[in-house]
Amino acid sequence: MALQKKLSQEEYERQEREEWLSAAEEKAVLAAEEVKTYKRRTEEMGEELQKTEHLFKNQIATHEKKAQDNWLKARAAERAIAEEKREATNLRHKLLEMTQKMAMQMNL
């Protein structure tokens, strides 16, 4: 009887260990699947980050190019304005000279 009881006890303990191991194995499988999911999501986010970074770098390059072009146009406009001012000054000077000549000729 004692032997039967001991055998039953050992069988019960073995079944408990098997259930515990089965539950632990199931948890390990779920954890491994979770790790795979997180790795995949991390890779996807990394790829998305690279695409976004590439897009922003292209946008920055485009804006820098436009800024450079606008700066060049502004400099050209400043030079043109300076030239126009010089031309206007020259024309005013010529007008003054001609007016003075005409005034001299009328006085003669």
pLDDT for 92 equals 97
Count: domains in the chain: 1
pLDDT for 2 equals 82
pLDDT for 28 equals 95
pLDDT for 1 equals 80
Structural domain of 37:
1-108
Q: Residue 27 carries which side chain, given as an amino acid letter?
A: K
Structure tokens at 56: 């922003």
Residue with tokens 């700066």: 71
Q: How far apart, in whole angstroms, are the C-alpha atoms of residue 24 and residue 2?
A: 32
Per-residue pLDDT of the chain (108 residues; tens, 9 = 90+): 887 877 788 888 888 888 898 889 999 999 999 999 999 999 999 999 999 999 999 999 999 999 999 999 999 999 999 999 999 999 999 999 999 999 999 986
Q: How far apart, in whole angstroms, are the C-alpha atoms of residue 27 and residue 24?
A: 5
What is residue 84's three-state secondary structure?
helix
